[in-house]
Amino acid sequence: MGKPTGFKEFTRQIPTDREPSLRVLDWNEFHEHMDEPSLKRQGARCMDCGVPFCHTGSLLNGMAAGCPVNNLIPEWNDLVYRGHWREALDRLHKTNNFPEFTGRVCPAPCEGSCVLGITNPPVTIKNIECSIIDKGFEEGWVTPCPPPVRTGKKVAVIGSGPAGLAAAAQLNSVGHLVTVFERSDRIGGLLMYGIPNMKLDKQDVVQRRVNLLADEGVIFQTNCDIGKTIPAQQLLKEFDAIVLCTGATNPNDFFAKTPGRNLKGIHMAMEFLHANTKSLLDSRLEDGKYISAKGKDVVVIGGGDTGTDCCGTSLRHGCKSLVNFEVVAQSPDNRAPNNPWPQWPRVYKKDYGHEEGAALFDYSKVPGKTLLNDPREYAIQTVEFLGDDNGNLRAVKTMRLDWSKPDPEKKTPFSQVPGSEEEWPAQLCLFALGFRGPEPTVAEQLGVTFDPRTNYAADYGKFTTNVDKVFAAGDCRRGQSLVVWAINEGRAVAREVDKALMGSSDLP
């Protein structure tokens, strides 16, 4: 695949990003595009490795290893190297309905499992994927493909996130009449309101694909909160099958019993991100209907993509200061012995929000700051929220943690460091602590049972719930996960629904 000696001749190259101190002045995507000769060279680095792990899509040690939608990565890398872009697009679309989404927001477990990555920097798979689909749209190759005939079967998909959209796209492609119900005012779920605009443009990327699906015959109903706007039982009477793709939207709140938790100025991350994007799309933030970080000391608790997005959004508001707390210890610069290839590499890296924080603030002047070129503080635990006389948050009190010394009394794998109390000024504190499962209303009305993790109970591969005609897929079934896993499940549940309706299925 690719050029036989390409991995020896060419070094890894990724697109340049706009300067952090400049890109925080707007809400536009910050990645620049690479020219075609550079992309061909990167495709040439894909080696003929015999057994490519990049598209295995397995789980190792609880984390994705390889592409969960089983993208035919070596094939389209080779086609890009040879300049066959249209053919590369066809191969990409065989396994992935929305490469323009994954090419922007997926953390690229494929690259973590790249064979070249054992000894060298891995192939730039994610960037090549994004470049293929972007060129496809630019050249006009991506056009609506409505089904030639209709089966007469009607399917309701509840939730328009990546799982719901993938299920709808697949089911529509074989002729079923699909209606997608979304409680928000715009289609996209997590893609629309959970991921900020600078990572995933809403009009030029998300809405473009939604419009394409609508042109293919998918019916979208917004402002329709199933279980409230429409009783869930009504759908059982009107549709031949129901697919639950409601996501895992119940946020974790590990600080419910922490002193000061109810102070004004403490918010869940999605409350902050959702309102910001809606206001941005509605009025370019002129309506004031969002939680502003302007002029405030901001503390983001929790790492991961959501924490980074809170950082990037706060910086674009014009916050006064920014720190990001992580309870875990800092990751090593290189793979630890207990994190071997092809597992996802748990190594220290800066995401876009951290780069922007480091560009805007001098952390050597921040009291208590130990990682001076990064907004993050590792191995730190919030123990109290401090307020003023009016019930407003004024500071966050923390203690340092020692992960080498478990606390048998508290039964924690860490212990607090005596005398390490610190106060961090804060008028806005955002919790990016993950999610504990889907909201229960729809499942309760339908009589769907839950698994021990409070997700909708449905086996992977079958996706059937205990209620006839009702299926579940995506985060509401598997728990909080990656966009690419949601697409995987959306495609897979579509096949099972098609089999149930028609007796067999030709869907992949």
**pLDDT, tens digit, 9 for 90 and up, residues 309-368:** 999 999 999 999 999 999 999 999 999 999 999 999 999 999 999 999 999 999 998 888
Residue 25's pLDDT band (cuts 50, 70, 90): very high
> How far is CA 396 from its chain centroid?
28
Is there a contact between 352 and 308 (Cβ–Cβ < 8 Å)?
yes
The stretch 380-390 carries a mean pLDDT of 98
pLDDT reading at 65 higher than 70 = yes
The pLDDT, as a whole number, for residue 131 is 98
What is the structure's pLDDT at 425?
A: 97
Q: What is the pLDDT of residue 2?
A: 67
Q: What is the pLDDT of residue 367?
A: 85
Q: How far apart are CA 494 and CA 508, in angstroms?
A: 9
75 backbone dihedrals φ, ψ, rounded to 5°: -70, -50
Q: What percent of the chain has pLDDT over 70?
A: 100
Q: Which CATH architecture has domain 6-138?
A: Orthogonal Bundle (1.10)
Please write the tens of the pLDDT for every residue from 235-245. Answer: 999 999 999 99
pTM, entire model? 0.95
Give the pLDDT score at 315. 98
pLDDT at position 368 is 86
pLDDT, mean of residues 391-419: 96
Nearest CA-CA partner of 507 in 214, 168, 171, 240:
171
Amino acid sitting at position 214:
A
What are the tens digits of pLDDT across the range 133-148? 999 999 999 999 999 9
Q: What is the mean pLDDT of residues 251-272?
A: 97
Q: Quickly state the pLDDT bin for 63 (edges 50, 70, 90).
A: confident
H or E segment to which residue 345 belongs: none
CA distance 84 to 40: 10
Q: What is the pLDDT of residues 148-165, one digit of tens each?
A: 999 999 999 999 999 999
* Positions of CATH 3.50.50.60 in the chain: 154-249+436-502, 266-431
* Strand 58-60, strand 63-65: pairing: antiparallel
* Stretch 365-383: mean pLDDT: 93
Q: Kindly report, residue by residue over 412-470, the tens digit of the pLDDT.
A: 999 999 999 999 999 999 999 999 999 999 999 999 999 999 999 999 999 999 999 99
Phi, psi (5° rounding) for residue 303? -95, -150
Confirm if 152 and 129 have CB atoms less than 8 A apart. no
Q: Is the pLDDT reported for residue 1 higher than 70?
A: no
For domain 266-431, give its CATH number from 1.10.10.60, 3.50.50.60, 3.40.50.720, 3.40.50.300.
3.50.50.60
Under 8 Å between Cβ of 452 and 436: no
pLDDT digits (tens, 9 = 90+) for 173-193: 999 999 999 999 999 999 999
CB 1 within 8 Å of CB 78: yes
Report the percentage of the chain scoring pLDDT > 90.
Answer: 94
- Separation of alpha carbons 212 and 232, rounded Å: 28
pLDDT of residue 74: 94
Domain 154-249+436-502 = CATH 3.40.50.300: no
Average pLDDT for the chain: 96
Q: How distant is the alpha carbon of residue 362 from its chain centre?
A: 29
Q: What angle do CA 244, 250, 255 make, to 5 degrees?
A: 165
